Structure 1
Amino acid sequence: MATYFISQGHDEIPRWRVAFSDARLISAREINARTARGDCVWVTVDTQGWPPLVADLCRRGAAVGVMSYSPSATEAFQALESGARGYVHALSPPELLRQAQLVIMNQGIWVPPELMARVVGGTYRALGSQVKAQPQAEEFQALTERERAVALAVLEGQSNKEVARTLGITERTVKAHLGAVFHKLGVRDRMQLVLRLAGLSHSLVDAGQA
């Protein structure tokens, strides 16, 4: 397995080399001749036409992560829609970059915790009626009334703090209810909750935040 970085307009960032000593910085033109199934490719959003490039690399069997110098939920969602498994700040510490790569190489999805709630909300809206039909499912009925309220607020993209304010409870109580929801539905995090209620429970997601 090889690790590649594709960047346009920026020199190689030293911390990339610290995170992955054997990584290669190459151009988008070179990647098709270099990459092989199972390789990990990081693409920065300053690369012209990065969404279709990401989609093409994914079709070729590469594990793709997207790096941004100004991360946003909209951009993160665009990266995931293109097939990327990871979305990180380009200036993340080396240890975080290694952790993100470990997740995406094991079929997981990595998104910064601070963006996770927004990405979940976008996924919920994109899936639309598939998710909205699920509250009547038997597994959803296994939740208590307050657990359902917390789950629905999370599905809308609210952070724990926002859920606490909406429901008039403490953030600690929100975490407790959310932990119960995850346990009862057999999921690990917010994104898996959306996918589970949309009937996509086989997807493996690691969001880095409960």
Structure 2
Amino acid sequence: MSQNIFLCSETVRPSTRWLDAFPEGVCHERRTLVTAARPGDVIWVESGRGDWLEDLGTLVRSLPGCHLVVVSMTPDGAEAVAVLDRGARAYCHALAVPSVFRDVELVVRHGGLWVGPELMTRVVGAAGRALAPHAEVPQALLSGREAEVVHEVVNGLSNKEIAAKLGITERTVKAHMGAIFEKLGVRDRLQLVLRLSEHGNVPLPVH
């Protein structure tokens, strides 16, 4: 059975909220982690430990099949991008409530990425601006309204902001997002932006 493992040290320990979320979770120091972890385990790493970013990349390479999650006491958009760039699957607040920790676990175990709603919007906006010259909305696959929603996602707008701009309800935006994800074969906003940037070279699902 897969585990939740928190990377501990003399000064770093999981929060009581993390322990509440995962009563069966375990702690390992760096020296024992590689031998203790198995494919499918979720490895939780706290940011800010010296050269932790470089170490994160090493952990990703040395723990194939594991899902690495970074927790931070001061979540930051730039740090989130750096974390994902090094192969982690999620980034969240170190003092999140237990239900959020369990949601993060569920998302990464199913192959998704998690950086939280606010940071995700900021990260997607940054990615959208960087990839804008290459992004192409597949009009043949989407309805006119869905294409409008995609355009605003690439611009970094949240569901609430998209609803206000397009004059529709936030619930309707969520419904459009679900249809868009299904049609384009993606799991989240970041994958959506990346897929659009590749649209000219990567075939999209035909529905």
User: What band does the TM-score fall into relative to the shorter chain?
Assistant: 0.7 to 0.9
Residue 53 (structure 2) aligned to one of 51, 54, 62: 51
Q: Distance in 1 between matches of 2:111 and 2:182?
A: 21
Q: 1:105 to 1:186 in 2, by over 3 A?
A: closer
* Aligned-pair CA distance for 1:83: 0.6
* Aligned-pair CA distance for 1:88: 1.6
| Correspondence for 1:3 | 4
Q: Distance in 2 between matches of 1:105 and 1:49?
A: 27
Residue 87 (structure 2) aligned to one of 83, 89, 97: 83
| Correspondence for 1:119 | 123
Asked if 1:12 is matched to 2:11, the reply is no
| Correspondence for 1:170 | 168
* Aligned-pair CA distance for 1:47: 2.0
Q: Distance in 2 between matches of 1:152 and 1:39?
A: 36
For residue 140 of structure 1, give the secondary structure of its aligned residue in structure 2.
Answer: coil
| Correspondence for 1:140 | 139
Q: What is the TM-score of this pair, normalised by structure 2?
A: 0.77
CA RMSD of aligned residues (A): 2.9
Q: Distance in 2 between matches of 1:3 and 1:175?
A: 31
Q: Distance in 2 between matches of 1:25 and 1:177?
A: 41
Which structure 1 residue ranges, 5 or more long, are not aligned? 203-210
* Aligned-pair CA distance for 1:34: 3.8
Question: Deviations for 1:138-177, whole angstroms, at most 9, x for unmatched residues?
Answer: x334434443232111012111232344x35234354454
Aligned partners of 2:132 and 2:197 also within 8 Å: no
Q: What is the TM-score of this pair, normalised by structure 1?
A: 0.76
Q: Distance in 2 between matches of 1:34 and 1:179?
A: 38
State the one-letter code of the partner of 2:4: T
For residue 65 of structure 1, give the secondary structure of its aligned residue in structure 2.
Answer: strand
Question: Deviations for 1:49-84, whole angstroms, at most 9, x for unmatched residues?
Answer: 222222222212121001011222222222111111
1:59-208 equivalence runs, <5 A: 59-60=61-62, 61=64, 62-130=66-134, 132=135, 134-135=136-137, 139-165=138-164, 167-172=165-170, 173-199=172-198
* Aligned-pair CA distance for 1:179: 4.5
* Aligned-pair CA distance for 1:127: 4.0
Aligned partners of 2:53 and 2:83 also within 8 Å: yes
State the one-letter code of the partner of 1:170: I
Q: Distance in 2 between matches of 1:67 and 1:4?
A: 13
Aligned partners of 1:5 and 1:25 also within 8 Å: yes
Moved more, 81-90 or 156-165: 156-165
Q: Report the count of equivalent residues.
A: 196
Aligned partners of 1:67 and 1:87 also within 8 Å: yes
Aligned partners of 1:160 and 1:171 also within 8 Å: no
